[in-house]
Amino acid sequence: MELFRKKDSRFYWYDFKVRGKRYRRSTKETNKKRAEKIAAIKLSQAMGGTGLLDRRAPSLQGLSTGFLNWVESAALARKSKKYASSAESVGGLGFGKSS
């Protein structure tokens, strides 16, 4: 792992690779000892696969499916249930329930 300062930054940066993926970010620290601790934590998270850097963004289809499941199971007012029927009308776009 490399810890360094960029010419145009007052903060320390870390740079390392885990399983072929490069991690390079600012520690947002000006103190070298604190920057080393942060970099070590980020390295540990990357090796364990528990860091924010390892997560993939959810797809819109996945989010809509989860939301529609919640609408169906939640105790909502009848007016609020219109989301489910509206989503079914755009089913050709991959949202809502498939028939």
Residue-level pLDDT at 92: 47
Burial of residue 14, with CB atoms counted within 10 A of its CB: 0-12 exposed, 13-18 middle, 19 or more buried: buried
For position 32, what pLDDT does the model report? 95
CA distances from 2 to 11, 15, 18, 81, 99 (A): 14, 5, 13, 53, 54
pLDDT tens across 56-71, in order? 777 888 888 888 888 7
Compute the mean pLDDT over every residue in the chain, rounded to the nearest whole number: 80
Give the mean pLDDT of 67-95: 66
pLDDT tens, 29-59?
999 999 999 999 999 888 886 656 556 777 8
